[in-house]
Amino acid sequence: MDQSRLMRRPRRAARAALAATTIPTWSSASPLATTADALRFRAAPGWLPRGRRVYAIGDVHGCKPQLVALHAAIAADLAARPSDAALLIHLGDYIDLGPDSAGVIELLANGPPIPGVTTINLLGDHERMLLEALGGDRAAATDWLWSGGRDALTSWGVAADLPRESWEAALPAAHIAFLRGLAWSHREGDYLFVHAGIRPGIALARQAKDDLLTIRQPFLWTEQTLGVVVVHGHSTNPAPVVAANRIGLDTGAGNGGKLTCAVLEEDRVGFLTA
């Protein structure tokens, strides 16, 4: 027998064994639609009560034109498929990286951007860094500046080298009030909406707030049942992630990627992008 064939067999077996244990970090879900009439649905990992519809938008990062485009697509979808129980959820990270953090906050601080649609705005880790910096945390101020805060200050017309102690006076009071009023999470049907994720094996009531805003592993890799399907941002992928226990919606806005909105209703999900 050809000895080279004997040598190849263990390699094939090893590759097969590795493939069997691989957990994908992202998946190309249903086609991404840029307009409401192109919206297509696939089976979702969770369920919402009949009649309820949730539009959940991932990390915005200062990309106001993309956010406005998604709001327009949502309004068009509601015009074509009316719902009396629609809910809009923004998953946090409105600021930094992109060019118009101030414009994004101004838009959202003025109230629901789609008339008649209840809106819930969640806290992201970038907002928390800024809030901690405004509260006197020097380390948080440094972290924020290096995480895109310089771009955000510029969008507010504030010099990046302005002393941290002067930031609060330089920023619009209404914007700071909006940031301080952001929610940590929201529950609808089988879904938990939160910025980053949750820690597997820990009851929802005992989740650490830091995990809600910053966790990646072991959350992203776990296949265990979490008790909810987590809809989150924070961890960037080139396309939305749909897994049995989570839906990831950070598709890189602010870093050259798209801004994505999940449309959830009953047992299905579709995606709008801008």
Q: Would you tell me how many other CB atoms lie within 10 Å of the CB of residue 152?
A: 29
Q: Is residue 155 part of a domain?
A: no
Q: Is residue 240 part of a domain?
A: yes
Q: Is residue 145 part of a domain?
A: no
pLDDT > 50? residue 21: no
| pLDDT reported for residue 31 | 75
Higher confidence at residue 30 or residue 122? 122
Mean pLDDT across the stretch 242-259?
98
pLDDT > 70? residue 213: yes
CATH number for the domain harbouring residue 107: 3.60.21.10
Q: Is residue 132 part of a domain?
A: no
Residue 193 sits at φ, ψ, to 5 deg, of -100, 125
| pLDDT reported for residue 30 | 61
Residue-wise pLDDT tens digits, 139-181: 999 999 999 999 999 999 999 999 999 999 999 999 999 999 9
Q: Is residue 255 part of a domain?
A: yes
Q: Is residue 7 part of a domain?
A: no
| pLDDT reported for residue 167 | 98
The chain-wide mean pLDDT, for the chain, equals 91
Q: Which domain does 64 fall in, by range?
A: 27-125+173-273
Q: Is residue 199 part of a domain?
A: yes
Query: Domain tally for the chain?
Result: 1
In sequence order, what E strands does the chain have?
A: 41-43, 52-57, 85-90, 118-121, 185-188, 191-194, 229-232, 241-242, 246-248, 260-265, 268-273
> Would you state the structure tokens that stand for residue 203, as one six-digit string?
């009851």
Q: Is residue 144 part of a domain?
A: no
Q: Would you tell me how many other CB atoms lie within 10 Å of the CB of residue 65?
A: 13
